[in-house]
C-alpha cells in the first residue's frame, strides 16, 4: 500500500495557509492598505480625499485606467457609461421568472450572469476592445439591474435610466421614482450615495475580488466572473455585516443598555460580538468608517432624522468601546459597516438591498482587478494546492462484499 500523504508531501513543496492570511495571490497596482496605520489608497490617492470631493465615476476611471481623468476624459467616460445604462428589453422577462420574495442578491447573481448570453460581442477576453466594452457595459448596467431587482421585489414598475442624471442620482431615481408622481432626487442624498459607492469601490484581494480573479483566470467571460463575485459578496461574513450592525444597534435600542452589550462582547462564554467592530486587516480606525460616520450625519439631517435614536446609540457605543481596555488592547475599532446600515436605511433602502448596493460599487473594483489580471503577461490559471489528509491508497471492494 502506498502512503499517499507522505508521497504527496515528498513530491510537492508548498505553503499551507488556510484563509490566505499571509499569502499574496497576485501583484497589483490598484489598492494599498496599511491596516496598522488605518490607510487606504486607490492608485496612491487617500480614500478620504477621493470621497470628500470626488465623484464615483472619477474614482472608477482612476481604478480602471490608473490615473485621475482630465475633464475631457471624465466627460467622455461618463457619456460612454450613460450610453450603456439600458439593459436589453428582453431581460425584463428574467425578473418575472423570480418569485416576488426572492432575495435581490439571488436575482443579481442570475441576471448579471445572464448578460453573457446577450453580449457575445464583448466576451472574447483576448481582444482589448471587447474587454473595454464589457467593462463599460458592466459598470453601466449594474445600477439598472439592481434597481429593477428592487422595483420587482416591491411590485412597482421598472423606471428606465435617465441619462441626463449622474450615476448615483440616476440610480436613486430608478429606485424611488414612480411613474405617476413627480420625483426629484435630493442632491445631498445622491452625493451621499456617490460617496458610499467610492468607499466600497475596491479593497484589494478580499474574498469576492479573489473570486472574480480566480474565475477570470480560467478565461471565463467577465459577466460570468462578476456574477461569481456577487455570489461571494452575498455571504454574511463579507457583504452582509452592515445589516448585522444595524440589527444590533436597533436591538440595543437605548443608550442606557450599551454597558450590558459591551459586557457581553467581552465575555468569552458569550458568542455575541460587537458587529461593525474589528477587522482582519485594520488594527486601527477603518478610514472608511470615519467618512461613513460623516455621511450618516448628512443623510439623517437631509431626511429630517437628525436625532435618530440608532445613531445616538452608535455614537455612544463607539465612544465607550474606544475607551475600554478590552477594545484598546485587541485593537478593535469601528469598521465601514458600523455606520453604513443606518445611512442606507435613511436613504430609503430595505436591509435586503444593502449588499446589492455594495455590489454596484465593488463592480468597478472587480473589473479593474480582472483587467489587471488579464493584461498581465505572466497570468496563469489560479490553481491552489491542498494538504491531503484523507485515507492512504486502498483496494476497491465489491458492493456485496462490503458487509
Residues near ligand ACO (CB under 6 A) are: 238, 241, 265, 273-280, 330, 332, 335-337
Tell me if 200 sits within 8 A of 295, measured CB to CB: no
Tell me if 44 sits within 8 A of 64, measured CB to CB: no
Nearest approach in angstroms of CB 34 to ligand ACO is 16
Nearest approach in angstroms of CB 329 to ligand ACO is 9
Nearest approach in angstroms of CB 205 to ligand ACO is 13
Nearest approach in angstroms of CB 31 to ligand ACO is 14
Bridge partners of 39, per DSSP, are 34
Smaller CB separation from ligand ACO, 80 or 264:
264
Burial class (CB in 10 A: 0-12, 13-18, 19+), 150: buried
Nearest approach in angstroms of CB 36 to ligand ACO is 13
Is 324 assigned a catalytic role? no
45 sits in which H/E element: strand 45-46
The 10 Å CB-count burial string (b at 16+, else e) for 202-241 is bbbbbebbbbbbbbbbeebbbbbbbbbbbbbbbeeeebbb
3-state helix, strand, coil in the chain (%, to 5): 60, 5, 40
Alpha-carbon distance of 255 to 262, in angstroms, equals 12
Alpha-carbon distance of 229 to 213, in angstroms, equals 9
Catalytic-role residue among 279, 305, 324, 400 = 279
| Residues in contact with 234: Cβ distance below 8 Å, sequence separation at least 6, in sequence order | 105, 109, 240, 355
Nearest approach in angstroms of CB 390 to ligand ACO is 27
DSSP string, 207-262: HHHHHHHHHHHTT--HHHHHHHHHHHHTSTTTTTHHHHHHHHHHHH-SGGGHHHHH
Q: Which three cell numbers stand for residue 128?
A: 482589448
Smaller CB separation from ligand ACO, 127 or 270:
270
Is 203 assigned a catalytic role? no
Smaller CB separation from ligand ACO, 170 or 335:
335
Smaller CB separation from ligand ACO, 79 or 273:
273
Q: Which residue is closest to ligand ACO by CB?
A: 278
Smaller CB separation from ligand ACO, 122 or 310:
310
Which of the residues are catalytic?
Answer: 279, 337
Amino acid at each position: 500500500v502506498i502512503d499517499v500523504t507522505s508521497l504527496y508531501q515528498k513530491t510537492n513543496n508548498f505553503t499551507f495557509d488556510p484563509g490566505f492570511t499571509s499569502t499574496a495571490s497576485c501583484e497589483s497596482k490598484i489598492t494599498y492598505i496599511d491596516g496598522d496605520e488605518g490607510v487606504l489608497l486607490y492608485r496612491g490617492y487617500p480614500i478620504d480625499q477621493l470621497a470628500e470631493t470626488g465623484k464615483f465615476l472619477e474614482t472608477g476611471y482612476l481604478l480602471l485606467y490608473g490615473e485621475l481623468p482630465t475633464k475631457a476624459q471624465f466627460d467622455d467616460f461618463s457619456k460612454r457609461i450613460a450610453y450603456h445604462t439600458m439593459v436589453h428589453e428582453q431581460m425584463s422577462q428574467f425578473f418575472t421568472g423570480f418569485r416576488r420574495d426572492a432575495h435581490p442578491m439571488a436575482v443579481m447573481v442570475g441576471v448579471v450572469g445572464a448578460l453573457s448570453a446577450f453580449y457575445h460581442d464583448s466576451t472574447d477576453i483576448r481582444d482589448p476592445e471587447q474587454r473595454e466594452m464589457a467593462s463599460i457595459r458592466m459598470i453601466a448596467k449594474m445600477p439598472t439591474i439592481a434597481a429593477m431587482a428592487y422595483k420587482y421585489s416591491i411590485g412597482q414598475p421598472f423606471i428606465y435610466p435617465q441619462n441626463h442624471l449622474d450615476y448615483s442620482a440616476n440610480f436613486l431615481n430608478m429606485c424611488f421614482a414612480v411613474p405617476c408622481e413627480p420625483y426629484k432626487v435630493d442632491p445631498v442624498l445622491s452625493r451621499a450615495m456617490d460617496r458610499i459607492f467610492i468607499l466600497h469601490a475596491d479593497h484589494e484581494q478580499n474574498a469576492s475580488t479573489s473570486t472574480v480573479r480566480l474565475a477570470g483566470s480560467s478565461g471565463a467571460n467577465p459577466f460570468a466572473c462578476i456574477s461569481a463575485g456577487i455570489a461571494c459578496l452575498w455571504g454574511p461574513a463579507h457583504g452582509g455585516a452592515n445589516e448585522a450592525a444595524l440589527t444590533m444597534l436597533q436591538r440595543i435600542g437605548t443608550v442606557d443598555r450599551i454597558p450590558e452589550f459591551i459586557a457581553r462582547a467581552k465575555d468569552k462564554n458569550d458568542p455575541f460580538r460587537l458587529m461593525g467592530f474589528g477587522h482582519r486587516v485594520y488594527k486601527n480606525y477603518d478610514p472608511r468608517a470615519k467618512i461613513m460616520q460623516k455621511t450618516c450625519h448628512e443623510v439623517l439631517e437631509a431626511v429630517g432624522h437628525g436625532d435618530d435614536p440608532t445613531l445616538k446609540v452608535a455614537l455612544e457605543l463607539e465612544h465607550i468601546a474606544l475607551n475600554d481596555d478590552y477594545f484598546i488592547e485587541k485593537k478593535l475599532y469601528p469598521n465601514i459597516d458600523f455606520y453604513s446600515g443606518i445611512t442606507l436605511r435613511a436613504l430609503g433602502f430595505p436591509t435586503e438591498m444593502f449588499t446589492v448596493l455594495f455590489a454596484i460599487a465593488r463592480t468597478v473594483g472587480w473589473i479593474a482587478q480582472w483587467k489587471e489580471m488579464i493584461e498581465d503577461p505572466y497570468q496563469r490559471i489560479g490553481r491552489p494546492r491542498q494538504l491531503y489528509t484523507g485515507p492512504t491508497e486502498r483496494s476497491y471492494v465489491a458492493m456485496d462484499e462490503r458487509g
